[in-house]
Structure 1
């Protein structure tokens, strides 16, 4: 546990200290997000925050992996290669812009790397089904975290909350590799949040969002709960990632219902609709932090729940989420 705390502190310090330097570099190199009608910021905003996140998390992990045998573990190599590829693709997208198919191709390659190193969903299903679920999960969560990066401090904060619960679950179940990686993400997110919470001084960009989404999604499927059945615990990652999943479902449902392309940027996310209800941007972000925390606590309960308890809670939450999506889309207009 001491090592996990040390990893967290290293990532926090490195990201916090490097972000101002990265911000200046972004301005000098032209990595900026220009204002637009469908965006909330009114001045050009530096985009290289993801580099500081990757730097902080990576240095902390390198210290965590002082044991060469751990570094050579196949799963670690797959995770490092896949997350590095996603960060690189995001960086190119931040600077030049990439078509959706190019980013999807990168996700396919990243998941293929994971599968090659045996990092995948391992449910009692046919092998092809586990591979398919792995791709859907990794690609879906990566895009959901990217979608969530629509308001100051939102994506970094939610990613930090998710990482905190994964770190806790990893430590409780003696999965110190998972816990250590999650601690690195948590530290990096909190170090960056100092400069990203409203009023933001820098954005993480696709480099940060795709890196965080990919790595968190991988950790979600690496969690193991030997004291309970997979028949129940498969729901744990769904609760941990409940806020980004809900936001993506709301946006997809709303845009398809209105005949708008799902890939179109817009002010129709959960955070925007909370602002429409009268909350400030800060309040909207904090409300979503709160919901992420509540869902994380439910996830911890699910790890110990009996089958009936788990499915009852899962069913109730699913019904409430479906109603909330319908209500927000039909009663609360986008900004």
Structure 2
């Protein structure tokens, strides 16, 4: 347990050390965020705020892993999952910010890359003797064998939740805070189930998110960009797959799920009604902003929901019906 705490602290300290140097560096390179005109007008003041701060998150997690977690297959796989999806986000940010193409990667390009990395992780897990095609079921002390459905289900799970975390990154501190609470769940669940090395990895994610919040809380001095949101999504889904906790993550990551579903509902309703909107704006955090909630209030309420879902998920682990 103390090693997990130490890994968390070191990741946190690394972030605090590199932040004051990295943020001015991003400003110097003019890696500024472009704010969409159709977004909430209150966000226009954020235009030019440095983005791609997710590189700091990746560096903090990677450095901590190299210090503590070398030569462990499960940690190596989790870190590679983080780096792989972070790489997709980096390319997307690079195209938008450096090449000045606002839409970044084309949708099909992003999906192809995400499905490819998801397939690699799913196949690896399915044929690994310590993982296999079984998943733990919340509130039931048993494993459910998905058999031939495991790989397609896991690919959809990975791609879906990585994009859901990405959609959640729309307010200062929202995605980093929600990801941190989900990572805390994985620290506790890994310790409970005996995945001690992955508990250290999850601790490094907690520390990186907590340290990043110092610079990302309202008013944000830096944004994580797709680089950070996809890297965090990759870290969380990798933890879920490697610990066979995919079904638990539908509870623990429920906030991300709600954000993604709100976008699906908005798009479907818009097309079915010829241009009407179900929400004032999607993802749903913008809906509450446009209803008059201050950004800080939205973030605090959504954090509270995220904490409650993490607690509910842990209850599903230790309480069996």
Normalised by the length of structure 2, the TM-score is 0.84
Report the count of equivalent residues: 290
Asked whether 1:250 is paired with 2:270, we answer no
Q: Confirm or deny: 8 A CA contact 2:82 2:238 kept in the other structure.
A: no
Deviation at 1:161, TM superposition (A): 0.8
Most deviating of 295-304 and 44-53 = 295-304
Q: Distance in 1 between matches of 2:78 and 2:311?
A: 26
In structure 2, the residue matched to 1:147 is 167
In structure 2, the residue matched to 1:198 is 218
In structure 2, the residue matched to 1:297 is 311
What CA deviation, in whole Å up to 9, does each residue of 1:15-70 have, x standing for no partner?
A: 1221232222222223221233134242212112100000111111112214x3x2
Asked whether 1:133 is paired with 2:153, we answer yes
- Give the unaligned 5+ runs of structure 1: 225-232, 308-335
In structure 2, the residue matched to 1:238 is 250
Distance 1:115 1:35, change over 3 A: closer
Higher relative contact order (CA 8 A, sep 6+): 2
Residue 111 (structure 2) aligned to one of 104, 110, 122: 104
Q: Distance in 2 between matches of 1:153 and 1:285?
A: 7
Deviation at 1:298, TM superposition (A): 1.1
Deviation at 1:133, TM superposition (A): 1.2
Q: Distance in 2 between matches of 1:236 and 1:247?
A: 18
Deviation at 1:234, TM superposition (A): 6.2
Q: Report matched runs for 1:165-176 at 5 Å.
A: 165-176=185-196
Distance 1:235 1:86, change over 3 A: closer
In structure 2, the residue matched to 1:316 is none
Q: Report matched runs for 1:1-335 at 5 Å.
A: 1-39=1-39, 40-42=43-45, 43-66=47-70, 68=71, 70=72, 73=73, 75-96=74-95, 97-118=104-125, 122-123=134-135, 124-223=144-243, 235-259=247-271, 267-307=281-321
Q: Distance in 2 between matches of 1:236 and 1:209?
A: 20
Distance 1:216 1:283, change over 3 A: same
Q: Distance in 2 between matches of 1:16 and 1:109?
A: 34
Q: Confirm or deny: 8 A CA contact 2:8 2:203 kept in the other structure.
A: yes
What CA deviation, in whole Å up to 9, does each residue of 1:221-275 have, x standing for no partner?
A: 3335xxxxxxxx76422111010101111121122111299xxxx9422222222
Q: Distance in 2 between matches of 1:29 and 1:121?
A: 46
SS of the residue corresponding to residue 98 of structure 1 reads coil
What CA deviation, in whole Å up to 9, does each residue of 1:171-203 have, x standing for no partner?
A: 122211221111111100011111111101110
SS of the residue corresponding to residue 258 of structure 1 reads helix
Q: Confirm or deny: 8 A CA contact 2:133 2:145 kept in the other structure.
A: no
Q: Confirm or deny: 8 A CA contact 1:11 1:184 kept in the other structure.
A: yes
Q: Distance in 2 between matches of 1:50 and 1:212?
A: 9
SS of the residue corresponding to residue 33 of structure 1 reads coil
Q: Distance in 1 between matches of 2:177 and 2:212?
A: 9
Deviation at 1:303, TM superposition (A): 1.5
Q: Distance in 1 between matches of 2:8 and 2:283?
A: 31
